[in-house]
Amino acid sequence: MAGEFYIRDPLLPGMCGEDVRLFQEGLRASGFDSVPENGVFGPETSAAWKEIFIAARLDDFDHGRAYDPTQSEQAFLREQFPNDDDHERGVRAYSPEKFSSREEYESFLRSEPSPIPPGVSSFSWGEVHSHGFNRQLETGMAPSQEWNDWTEDLRRLTPGDSFRDTDVPPSGSEMCLVANAGESLAPRELADHPLYETLRAKVPPEIGDLQVSELTLRALKDGITGPDRLGDVVVTDRRVFAEGTTPGFRGVIDLTDPPMTQNELRSAMSELSLANATPTQDATQARGIARA
């Protein structure tokens, strides 16, 4: 398996591909059975990585270690906190020594918006392996064949020179649309909507179908019911805005958030359709008066 694809560093929510699937394989081998092996960095993958990050940081607390960010994590923090003073505060924010108790530190790590970097750096693959190994020691479990296979793959993909021996990297911002070679991931309920088709044409192709689906849903909820009510589409580094022709009407998504799953989108679309189809009490009364 090693050398057949490129390991992006960092992996980010919304990405798809073999590197994501291999990471998911490691999460499952480390005890996170709810993580799918579908190659899509979705909510389940993000949640499992968050638990591993929390476990690693709490282990630092238990052993009195200060937070020592890796090079790629430093880059993430630098992106989040470009000002030098803010950057230092950002790094210190993760350090266990800032907190008076383990509970206080865990509460911080679980707070929202999450202080945990969404991206999975090359260092993080070792964290997943350590988590699985420690879990086996704690439970007395014998390593499974799945675990042994993933460990062997990981040895051949150790962060460092071996990463440069793999294939040419795709763009670091490559999302699901590109990784799936044009196969649409949009739920049919949204893909058939003319507003989705218009937004898909206006939004850059590196932004995935699931994210365009969510943008469509948010625009519909805000009263942009069709292409005729859509004004500008504005894309920034972190957000996409669908502006309506009516001032104040817009849909917006954050590209740093994990995309909604197909099931979540279908459920939200059904709720939206039901809400639009259910008459309000005032409207029902008005129709009753009119019939009388």
109 and 33 part of one domain: yes
75 and 139 part of one domain: yes
Which of 164, 195, 224 marks a domain boundary?
A: 164
Q: How far apart are the first and last CA of the chain?
A: 74
Q: What is the pLDDT of residue 219?
A: 94
What is the rounded distance in angstroms from the CA atom of residue 9 to the CA atom of residue 120?
A: 7
User: Which range is most confident: 18-32, 132-146, 250-264?
Assistant: 18-32
CA neighbours closer than 13 Å in the CB half-sphere of residue 128? 29
Which stretches within the chain are classed as H helix? 18-29, 43-62, 71-80, 84-93, 102-109, 122-139, 145-156, 161-164, 176-179, 188-191, 194-202, 209-221, 262-277, 281-291
Q: What is the pLDDT of residue 132?
A: 85
For helices 209-221 and 194-202, give the axis angle rounded to 10 degrees: 120
40 and 136 part of one domain: yes
pLDDT at 243 over 60: yes
98 and 196 part of one domain: no
Phi, psi for 133 (deg, rounded to 5): -65, -45
Percent of the chain with pLDDT over 90: 15
158 and 188 part of one domain: no
What is the rounded distance in angstroms from the CA atom of residue 74 to the CA atom of residue 213?
A: 32
Mean pLDDT for 187-210 is 84
Sheet with 239-244, strands from edge to edge, namely 230-235, 239-244, 250-254
272 and 207 part of one domain: yes
Residue 10 located in a structural domain: no
Query: Which residue segment(s) compose the domain that 128 sits in?
Result: 18-164
Q: Give how many domains the chain has, as a whole number.
A: 2
Q: What is the pLDDT of residue 185?
A: 64
- What are the residues whose beta carbons fall under 8 Å from the beta carbon of 225, sequence distance 6 or more? 195
Which of 164, 191, 215 marks a domain boundary?
A: 164
- What are the residues whose beta carbons fall under 8 Å from the beta carbon of 245, sequence distance 6 or more? 228, 229, 230, 231
What is the rounded distance in angstroms from the CA atom of residue 99 to the CA atom of residue 292?
A: 69
What is the rounded distance in angstroms from the CA atom of residue 52 to the CA atom of residue 117?
A: 12
Mean pLDDT for 196-207 is 86
Q: What is the pLDDT of residue 215?
A: 93
Residue 3 located in a structural domain: no
Predicted model pTM: 0.53
pLDDT at 141 over 90: no
Q: What is the pLDDT of residue 6?
A: 60
Q: What is the pLDDT of residue 73?
A: 63
23 and 137 part of one domain: yes
pLDDT at 240 over 60: yes
Task: State whether residue 16 is helix, strand or coil.
Answer: strand
141 and 213 part of one domain: no
